Structure 1
Amino acid sequence: MGITVEFHDDGCALIRMKNGQNRWNLTTLNQLNNALDEVERNRSASILVTTGEGKFYSNGLDLDWVNSIGRSSDAGRKFLADLHDTLWRIMHFPIPTVASINGHCFAAGAFLALCHDYRVMRSDRGWISWNETLISLRITDSSILQRKLNPDALREIIFAKRLTGPEAVRLRIVDEIEDISNLLSESKAFGFRALGNNVIKRTDLQNMKKDMIPRTIHESKL
């Protein structure tokens, strides 16, 4: 079923990830970037919301696929670099972005959510976690985490804690928790509140994001 884009009359562009656990491999990453291309081409879109379906927002890397091509191979290194480029693309996206976290959100999936301007998480079930420590992976570029999170949150990440919605709010990893019935509508509201009554040009917003959260170039091994 892949990744789909919906354009709502109110100006919301909604990207739905519908690949089961929404793990990241070459196919799903290309689908996400194609969806982002569609949103950028649609000048009527004023905010972007991303969400998953069922139990998962995103369960991180497709480790079976990554291991099959070899993490240190040319193809493996290129994929990880492309994934990192995509995270920064979302970080600097030219309209407000909101991650509507409907379920479990792990590792590279948690990075994806963190790169949005705002995060709204389901209140009653689902964890957010950077579980790299548990699966013997290293995060050699921690700049996204350090720019977005406070020391208390970083400490929990080091120990790969699985954080519930209320815990993630306390640590300021997510902005709000909502019942699943209100999750999408409140996620959209965050994006529209960010704009308020202002008319902000896309280029100006993107430049401000780049100025406030400049990219640091590192080789990524998420």
Structure 2
Amino acid sequence: MMGMSVEFHDDGCAIITMRNGQNRLNVSTLKQLNDALDTVERNVSAKVLITTGEGRFYSNGIDLDWVASHEGEREQFLQTLWDTLWRIMHFPLPTVAAINGHCFAGGAFVAICHDYRVMRSDRGWISWNETLIHMRISDPLIEILQHKLSAEALRESVIFAKRITGPEAVKLKIVDSTEEEDNLIAGSKRLGLQALGNNNIQRADLQNMKKDLIPRQILQSVNTSKL
């Protein structure tokens, strides 16, 4: 599919690669991502989901130019974004974000909704830069941050919008590990497969446990001026 590829490997790992340049999030790229997630869910042999980008970016966040030029679609876009993030959060397989490059704002939200995250050790930042671009974060996204980041990580990467390197992100527990570029996918596979171990966890049971322990309580924002 244009802009997004899905590969199934013999070890049971499904890999979605985002191929839209900076992988900015708009209606088109969110549809591509959801179509790719549908493809993975339909494959009963898939055991682990890995998402990654190519080149310099995992994702450079929301496509603000698109949002500005499609003001009438803003509310629907935001709802689709929130729904997609929670779909990843509650996905019925172990999920790993293989963060190949820069991962900012909306792209960082995509990454932290995975069960596990692996960054390159030598290149790339993860950051929520809303403070720097005069934007506020909507309640549905704040809920995700509160589920996924510690107070220290929130302070450094969100409140003060610092660009966090892979090794720094490990210390802040934003990501689980770092790998050199050539080992990024292999390391991500290892994490995902180790999560399952020898347990025969059924998809429905895994999804139900995620929903119970990481419940979605804010379905929409009362203030859509925030992203």
- Is TM (by shorter chain) over 0.5? yes
SS in 2 for 1:6: strand
Q: What amino acid sits opposite 1:152 in the alignment?
A: E
Which of residues 76, 79, 89 in structure 2 aligns to 1:78?
76
Per the alignment, in what secondary structure is the counterpart of residue 36 of structure 1?
Answer: helix
Determine the structure 2 residue equivalent to 1:68: 69
For the pair 1:38 / 2:36, whether they are aligned, the reply is no
Counterpart Cα distance in 2 of 1:44 and 1:97 = 15
Unaligned runs of 5+ in 2: none
What's 1:98 paired with? 96
In the alignment, is residue 130 of structure 1 matched against residue 128 of structure 2? yes
Larger displacement relative to structure 2 (110-119 or 156-165): 156-165
What is the DSSP-based 3-state SS (H/G/I as helix, E as strand, rest coil) of the residue aligned with 1:100? strand
Q: Report the equivalent of 2:14.
A: 13
Question: Aligned equivalents of 1:187 and 1:212: distance in 2?
Answer: 23
- Name 1:166's counterpart in structure 2: 167
5 Å matches for 1:202-221?
202-217=203-218, 218-219=220-221, 221=226
Q: What SS does structure 2 have at the residue aligned with 1:198?
A: coil
**Corresponding position of 2:146:** 146
| Displacement of 1:9 | 1.0
- Secondary structure class of the residue paired with 2:205: helix
Task: Report how many aligned residue pairs link the two structures.
Answer: 219
Structure 1 runs not aligned, ≥5 long = none
Counterpart secondary structure, 2:14: strand
Residues of 2 paired with 1:65 and 1:33: CA distance? Answer: 19
**TM-score calculated relative to the size of structure 2:** 0.95
Letter in 1 for 2:160: F
Q: The residue matched to 2:88 in structure 1 has which SS? A: helix
**Partner of residue 177, structure 2:** 176
AA of the residue aligned to 1:54 = G
Q: Which residue of 2 aligns with 1:53?
A: 54
The residue identity in structure 2 corresponding to 1:96 is P
Letter in 2 for 1:108: G
Report the alpha carbon displacement of residue 135 of structure 1 after superposing the two structures with TM: 1.1
- Alpha-carbon deviations, 1:89-124, whole Å to 9, x = none? 000000000000000000000000000000000000
1:61, distance to aligned residue in structure 2 (A): 0.6
Structure 1 vs Structure 2: percent identity of aligned residues? 70
Q: Alignment partner of 2:107: what SS?
A: helix
Which 4+ stretches in 1 moved above 2 angstroms? none
Which letter maps to 1:148?
Answer: K
Which residue in the other structure is 1:155 paired with? 155
Aligned residue for 1:80, secondary structure, equals helix
Whole-Å Cα distance in 1 between the matches of residues 115 and 21 of structure 2? Answer: 25
- Counterpart CA distance in 2 for 1:84 and 1:140 is 10
Q: Secondary structure at the match of 1:49?
A: strand
Map Cα deviations across residues 150-172 of structure 1 (whole Å, 9 max, x no partner).
11001011011100111111100
Task: Describe the SS at the equivalent of 1:99.
Answer: strand
